[in-house]
Homo-oligomer: A and B are copies of this chain.
């Protein structure tokens, strides 16, 4: 197939990308199978190598392909793991119906085990001056010191997610949260022991591309965004902690069970699915 650029047409590399996308979606290559090498694509389409690379760049940045130097270019496959970020108290799958928050790590590890995978973690405890992101939510003074408890999570040894919990130093002072080790039973148990029973939380969710440090840690190539959950935990008398968790979005999905599910099981849906296939939306309205 030869691509020649006519007037009014999209650029070559974009049409090449579109054609490759079509062939990919058509199942011409399976996950893990290499695409034709760049020189082969040059010949197939009769374009310069630069143009091939521009086209493949597009698909890499969409998260469809991954390039490996010296080997080839491959379809990316998406084994997605669900993580239950919240279960309503009425949810029957919840062990203790009275509490809405469980030991996060234990629950996460159970989910991983259920999927036949092994969750491990590294732990760091630091005392830092909080940014306004944190102080605003904790309702403390800007620049005030907070206890930062960081959990680096690995799935089968692969970097998976980063959780950073921030506590006001005054609050954490007399608790197990000052120890440079994970609290058995979870941080929320240490909080509860100190009289701070978390009764609710506010989650703020966003997605963005990783910065270089994050990309390196997550081993996330181009086209892989982060899913960021910022949870502020509340007692009856106010906020007590802010937890920011970052997930590599191509491997993770967050689940919230809300309200009453009427005694039904949570839906069991295959994990590998991707929601896509937008129909024709028409042109966007002019601004």
Contact = CB atoms under 8 A, between A and B. Distances in A.
Contacts of A159: 284-285
Contacts of A205: 85, 205, 227, 253-256
A228 B275 contact: yes
Nearest to A267: B137
A206 B223 contact: no
Nearest to A202: B257
What is the size category of the interface that chain A forms with chain B? 35 or more
A232 interface: yes
9 closest A-B pairs by CB: A200-B259, A207-B207, A225-B225, A207-B249, A236-B262, A203-B256, A199-B260, A159-B284, A100-B259
Given A206-B252, A206-B253, 9 more contacts: A86-B256, A136-B273, A137-B269, A200-B261, A202-B267, A213-B278, A213-B280, A214-B278, A235-B262
30 contacts: A82-B204, A88-B200, A133-B269, A133-B275, A136-B273, A154-B284, A157-B287, A159-B285, A162-B281, A199-B262, A200-B259, A200-B262, A202-B256, A202-B266, A203-B255, A203-B258, A204-B254, A205-B253, A205-B255, A207-B226, A207-B227, A217-B278, A217-B284, A218-B284, A219-B284, A225-B249, A234-B261, A236-B262, A244-B275, A258-B258
